[in-house]
Structure 1
C-alpha cells in the first residue's frame, strides 16, 4: 500500500509532521482511539534507531496521546494521601514520581506518572480515568481538568540527549536531578523538561501544548541534527525502553 493511499484512508497522527518518505506505518497502538492516528513503525530502520539510544539520541512521540489529568485545590494533597499507596512527605514542587492506585481489596487499579507543578496543583499521566473517578466521587475541595488530547510529550534518550535539550532551550540542565522538572521554552514555545531515564541511562521528556507539538518536534530535530538524533518508531521503542529499565507490559 503506498503512502498516499494510506494517508488518505487513515488520519495521520497530529503530534508529528507527516513524512511521505516513511513507508512503515501502523495503527495498532493508540491510547485514545478517538484522538489517535497512523504513526510510523520505522523511520530509518529499527537497527539504526536502536543504536541511537547508545550512541547519540532518539526522539520518540509514540506515547501520544496520553491520558492526562490535572487537578488543583486545597485538598489536593489530602486526596493523594488517601488514594495512592505512595508517601508524599518529600514530594516537593518540581518533583515527579510513579503513582500507584489500588482499590479496597488491594488490587491494582491504575499507575502512572504524577508531577507536582504547584503548591496545590498536580498533573498526572496514565492515572486517569480511575484517578478522575475517585476525585469526582470523593469529598475534596479540588477541581480537575481532563487534558487528554490537549498536550504532547516527547521522549529523548541517549548520551547526547542533554546536549540537545540544552541547545533547544538555551539553558543549562546539568543540575536537574532524576524525576525532577522545570519549565522552559523552545523557539518561544512554552515547554516543561523532565529528567527521566532509568538504570543509569540519560533521558528527558519534553511536554507542552498540542498546538505547539509539531513545531517543537521539528525544532528538536533541527537542534539535534549535529548530535546525530534519530526518530524512534514503534518497532524499536519496546526494546530501547526495556533495556533502559522502563517497565513494559510487552517485550
Structure 2
C-alpha cells in the first residue's frame, strides 16, 4: 500500500487512525472523531483534502486538441489556455466511462485528472494522431484547500490567485517551490487545488498549514468530502454511476443525459467533432429513450419525524451517507427510481439525496416516496423532487 507525498504530515494529524484505500494509496476516512467537525471546517472556515491519488495524464502534441475533441463529450475547443473544464468520456454506445477535469496549459498541451486509470483507453484513441499521452500520476501531489477562507489563506502565498476565476488556473510559487493552483474542487464551495511536484510536496504543505493556522485550517477526509459533494449535487464514480468499462449489463451503464450531465453536450450536432459515443447519444436524445432523470430529493421532515415517533423512537439524523441505494416509489407503491446518495444535510437540516427517477415522473416540485426501515419493517416518507445542487453559495463563483 502506497502513501502520498503529504502522508508524513497527515499521519500526525489523523487522530482516528482510520484510512481507506484509493487507487493503491492510503486515504484518510476522517481525521477527527466526528466527520461533522471536518464538514463545518469546509463550510465555515477552510479545510484541506489530500487528492494526490487522482490519476494525472499529460496529453501533448500537434494534434492534442483534435484528439481530445474526438474523445471527450464536452467540446475542448472552447477552452483557452489557463482554463479547465469538467468533462466525461464515453464508449461507442454513449455510456459514460468516467469523468474528470481537463486543464489546458497551452494550445497543444493538456493535463487530465481522473479517479481511475484510463491510460490504455486514452492511448487506444490516439492511433494515427500526433499526440503523446503520459501517465504522470506519481510525479505530482494535489492538495484541495476548500472553504470561505481558502482564498485568504492562499493569496499571501501566491498573489497570482487574487483574480483567478472559477475553473481558472495559474502557475505560482509557494515557499519557493513551483506549483499550479486551480480554482476547482469537489465540495461545491469556494476552493482551490494546489498541484505540486512530489519532491516539493512537504514544504508546500508546511507553508499552507502555517498560513492557515489563523484561519482555522484543518484536514478533512473522505466522509466529510462525501457530505459536501452530495450537497453540491456532484456525481461520484462508484456511487452515482459505474464505469461502462466494468459494467456487467445495461442496468449498470448510464449516459451523460441520464446522469444529469446533458449540459456537457452543447454543440453535439456539430459534425466537425464526431466524438466517441456521439451517434448513440444523438439517437437517445432524438428518440427520447433516456431511462432515468437525475434529480435532487428533499425528505419531508415532519413525516420523517412522525414515522419514528409513532414507534417510540428518536428520529435518526445521520450525516454519513447511507452505503446503499434507497428505493423510491409513487403514491400507488410502484417503484419509480432510487436514490444513489442519501444523507442528513447539516447545512439544510433535512434528509437530501441524489436520485435517479423515471423521466415521466421526475418533474421538479413533484413527490416521491422514500423507503425507510423502522423496527425491521418497510415504510415510506414523502420527498419533494428538486433541482441540483442543494447548496450553491455565491462565494463559489465570486
Q: TM-score, normalised by structure 1?
A: 0.84
Q: CA deviation at 1:196?
A: 2.0
Alignment match of 1:96 (pick from 67, 72, 84) = 84
Aligned to 1:224: 212
Q: CA deviation at 1:14?
A: 3.4
**Aligned partners of 2:193, 2:128: CA distance in 1, in Å?**
34
**Aligned partners of 1:176, 1:248: CA distance in 2, in Å?**
26
**Aligned partners of 1:204, 1:70: CA distance in 2, in Å?**
20
**Aligned partners of 1:194, 1:46: CA distance in 2, in Å?**
26
Q: 1:228 to 1:164 in 2, by over 3 A?
A: same
Aligned to 1:233: 221
Structure label with greater radius of gyration: 2
**Aligned partners of 1:116, 1:103: CA distance in 2, in Å?**
23
Aligned to 1:14: 5
Aligned to 1:105: 93
Q: Which has the higher contact order (CA 8 A, sep 6+)?
A: 1
**Aligned partners of 1:103, 1:211: CA distance in 2, in Å?**
36
Q: 1:70 to 1:83 in 2, by over 3 A?
A: same
**Aligned partners of 2:2, 2:114: CA distance in 1, in Å?**
24
Aligned to 2:62: 74
Q: Is structure 2 residue 142 aligned with structure 1 residue 153?
A: yes
Q: 1:132 to 1:219 in 2, by over 3 A?
A: farther
**Aligned partners of 1:53, 1:127: CA distance in 2, in Å?**
21
Aligned to 1:24: 16
**1:171-199 residue CA offsets vs partner (Å, 9 max, x unmatched):** 15232111110100100011111112579
Matches within 5 A, 1:153-172: 153-169=142-158, 171-172=159-160
Counterpart secondary structure, 1:173: helix
Consecutive unaligned residues in structure 1, runs of 5 or more:
1-9
Note if contact 2:15-2:33 (Cα within 8 Å) is conserved in structure 1.
no
Q: CA deviation at 1:200?
A: 6.6
Alignment match of 2:199 (pick from 211, 234, 250) = 211
Q: CA deviation at 1:118?
A: 1.3
Q: 1:245 to 1:202 in 2, by over 3 A?
A: farther
Q: TM-score, normalised by structure 2?
A: 0.55
Q: 1:78 to 1:12 in 2, by over 3 A?
A: closer
**1:207-230 residue CA offsets vs partner (Å, 9 max, x unmatched):** 111111122112111101111111
**Which contiguous aligned blocks of 4+ residues in structure 1 show a shift greater than 6 angstroms?**
none
Consecutive unaligned residues in structure 2, runs of 5 or more:
240-320, 322-398
Q: 1:117 to 1:127 in 2, by over 3 A?
A: farther
Counterpart secondary structure, 2:128: coil
Aligned to 2:168: 180
How many residues are aligned here?
237
**Aligned partners of 2:142, 2:216: CA distance in 1, in Å?**
21
